[in-house]
Structure 1
């Protein structure tokens, strides 16, 4: 009887602890992979996308099956020479339209041995009609991918053999491990009127604020490795800003919207 009780308690503990689902590393082609993780605690999706560094490559996600990969209105992301672009399909033969609001925040963008690896995150739901809404309860997700047939960042026909589908990719529950890096930091309220709070589990040394064009507009030195910092940017114009959080060798990027 005691064994049954202990096993039951363990099962309940594992179920309550498991707050993440992931596709794991999905091989799209010989030099492209995708890994999507849904965190039900933060309601954020994290995408790790790899592909050739000398050309654009793209990933579409949603629920479209193997026949709806380029239908107008489908959500996708693609890379240019520098970053990840949030966009929307316009149908077969037409280049996608860049979304007015870039809801993916790139937290890492590295190139090694000709392969670019981008890690980005966004909320499950952005409130943007152009964006796919991730549902933690879904058991699968569909991927479609494409890349330029030659070394080029200009969007054009990808050519045969440079596209494909991975449909009904399983989203499997994983055991979440508490993250004490700066990546687990939170900013609230967001959007804000310019006054907001930064909360971390590991403490901060510095906060840098950048415009969307990459210009440094504010540097805030944080004393005593504080884990909670009140920030005021009310003097800045309304818009979207990138927040760099730093502590020694650890750093991460967040996005703040000032209304």
Structure 2
């Protein structure tokens, strides 16, 4: 076996080892224009939240292990956008404003607005050591969401109204792997690859690509693009190896390797 082929196989096995330690809920639709996605990286014990909602008001997400109807239950972990950043907080019960944690354990990595929808990407450790924070466990197969948003354009936490809240219970985690056979069989390719400033996703099937997420070699979410239909700008990314998660409108997910030069 030639040395070059040995190097390739070694690299491929290392990539599979990395991605096998990443689990994702995929994009979970909440309300119109409001979605959430949780990625768990067991390599560095880090959770990444991708959270979208209306750009002109607060919106909030409660996550953990609870039941339908347990929204605003005392002690449940919550995050909300306050007009400037993602706030780490804890519920105090129905009708009472959440209390902001003394330390915000979420690190905001991206805050973008497109067509009136704000998408936030933030990370934090599985276990922050804060008793107010939910402890993420890579072995868990599901996670529960409760969510709400302001009924008008403002960032003052107040009663949201019945139509501006809801539940998404038992959202399943899927282990991500490089070149998932569902999409590989349809010949999804990144062109060019290696790339320096941009690339396009090329495929020979009719389904639309609805979400594209790029992770660095540590499994950290570094770029998210919704409704991908043109070139993806990667000029801001340092050189190195990346992993591109591609989701189509049927929910099929693939992870492709991308080399940025």
State the secondary structure of the residue aligned to 1:67: coil
Deviation at 1:67, TM superposition (A): 2.3
* 1:1-259 correspondence to structure 2 within 5 Å: 18-175=20-177, 179-180=216-217, 202=239
State the secondary structure of the residue aligned to 2:162: coil
The TM-score, its normalising length taken from structure 2, stands at 0.63
- Whether the 8 Å CA contact 2:43–2:218 is kept in 1: the answer is no
Change (3 A) 1:34 1:102: same
Change (3 A) 1:151 1:178: closer
Superimposed CA distance per residue, residues 142-197 of structure 1 (whole angstroms, 9 cap, x where no aligned partner):
00000001111000000120000000000111126972599589xxxxxxxxxxxx
The TM-score, its normalising length taken from structure 1, stands at 0.64
- Whether the 8 Å CA contact 1:182–1:202 is kept in 2: the answer is no
What is the distance in 1 between the residues matched to 2:40 and 2:220? Answer: 15
Superimposed CA distance per residue, residues 12-66 of structure 1 (whole angstroms, 9 cap, x where no aligned partner):
x967851111000000011100010000001000000000011000000000110
State the secondary structure of the residue aligned to 1:107: strand
- How many residues are matched? 180
What is the distance in 1 between the residues matched to 2:164 and 2:69? Answer: 16
- Whether the 8 Å CA contact 1:181–1:202 is kept in 2: the answer is no
Bigger radius of gyration among the two:
1
Structure 1: runs of 5+ lacking an equivalent: 1-9, 186-200, 204-249, 251-259
Moved over 3 A (4+): 13-17, 180-185
